[in-house]
Every structure is written in structure tokens, then in C-alpha cells.
Chain A
Amino acid sequence: ETGVTQSPTHLIKTRGQQVTLRCSSQSGHNTVSWYQQALGQGPQFIFQYYREEENGRGNFPPRFSGLQFPNYSSELNVNALELDDSALYLCASSFTSGSSYNEQFFGPGTRLTVL
């Protein structure tokens, strides 16, 4: 069974640029959640995708957007990067059945640095 994978591992961008982060969910999972973790803080929920649609969103501006593909993999896109976007971006996959959400399993994360 393959776990959650994320790419790239590290990324350096400059302010104003756009970035796309990728996540492959664990086998058998149909839901992907994205989190942002600033240095020294706990992860903060960005949004979740289920059935290729956004299914819940945290307190993040619209320049944070995402996609989920038919194979359940997902992308996180961030436009107009700001210095405060520098963080570890975590993807978590889980299996959703009806209105029941099960435990989430996290990938290793993508470290984004904005200069």
C-alpha cells in the first residue's frame, strides 16, 4: 500500500509569483485535505476536496485554490505569493463515506520559501 506522497519536497519562489503543489492520496482514499504549517505553529486547515469539489475551507484568501482529479490526487495553487506564505504545506488523505469522515493520513509536506 502506497502512502501519501507530495511534490516537490522543497521550493523557492519570489513574491508575486504563483506556485502549484501536488499530492497523491493513499490507496483506497477518496478525500484530500490541505494544511499550512508556519514555523513553530500547528498545521492550519486550508481546504478539503471530495468528489472533485471543495468540501470545506479554512480562513484563507481566494488566491489559495485547489483541484482534485478523478484518481483522487490533488493540487494546491497559490497566486500572488506573499512572504507570509512561506511554510510547510501538508496534504492529508482519508476515506469519506456519506457524512462520516475518517482519520487523515499525512504526507511529508512541501517546504515553500518565498523571498
Chain B
Amino acid sequence: DAKTTQPPSMDCAEGRAANLPCNHSTISGNEYVYWYRQIHSQGPQYIIHGLKNNETNEMASLIITEDRKSSTLILPHATLRDTAVYYCIVRATSGSRLTFGEGTQLTVNP
């Protein structure tokens, strides 16, 4: 699975959009981009995933660049409960494991 690079930490004001970047320059054609988040001492929570088209669900939007070498997770209206570590993971559908990096600690401030 391709390696990802994320900033270690980010801050966001409550009610504003949080835009979390991820670089995955070695991504292969059959690899998806997955996003999970982990609130302190809880299990990781699945957020969204995509291959090459932008995706949106009730939690977030995922924007993948045309060359697929980077992506951005967007939380449109961040709340204090969105404070968590966000992990960007690249994984092939034929791959059984998730390879977690260090993630981005997002802190939403009141």
C-alpha cells in the first residue's frame, strides 16, 4: 500500500470548514483513499473513501486531485465533537489490511 503524508496538527474554529490535506504521491491505479478518525481512546471511525471521483456523505466530503497524488477531507461545519486524530490511508480493494500513519490531530476551538 502507498505511503501517505499528513500534517501532524491543525486547528479550526467551530462552525467553520475544516480542510485536512493528505499526500499520496505513490498511489497506484487500483488503490482507494480512505479516511478514518479516532477520538481519544476510542476505536477508529470510518468516514469516507474514494477512488478518483469526489465523494460526499453525511459526515464529510473527499476531494481527490486529478492526478490522484493528493486529497483533502472537508468537514463543512466543524463542531467541538470533531476534535480527533484523522488518518488518511491508501489501500487496494484486494488488500486486507489498513496501514495507519501518524495522522493529523484536528482541534476544533470554540
Contact = CB atoms under 8 A, between A and B. Distances in A.
The finding on whether chains A and B are genuine partners in a shared complex, rather than unrelated, reads: yes
Interface of A: 4, 31, 33, 35, 41-45, 48, 50, 55-56, 58, 88, 90, 92, 99-101, 103-109, 111
Interface of B: 34, 41-46, 49, 85, 87, 91, 93-103
A1 B84 CA distance: 25
B100 A42 contact: yes
A43 B100 contact: yes
Contacts of A45: 97-99
Given A42-B87, A45-B97, A108 B103 contact: no
Contacts, number: 60
B1 to A, nearest CB: 10
A113 to B, nearest CB: 13
A14 to B, nearest CB: 23
A10 B4 CA distance: 32
Nearest to A55: B96
A59 B102 CA distance: 18
Given A42-B87, A99-B94, A109 B42 contact: yes
Contacts of B34: 103
Given A43-B100, A48-B96, A100-B93, 18 more contacts: A35-B100, A42-B87, A42-B101, A44-B100, A45-B97, A48-B97, A55-B96, A56-B96, A56-B97, A88-B41, A90-B43, A92-B44, A100-B94, A103-B34, A105-B46, A106-B45, A107-B43, A111-B41
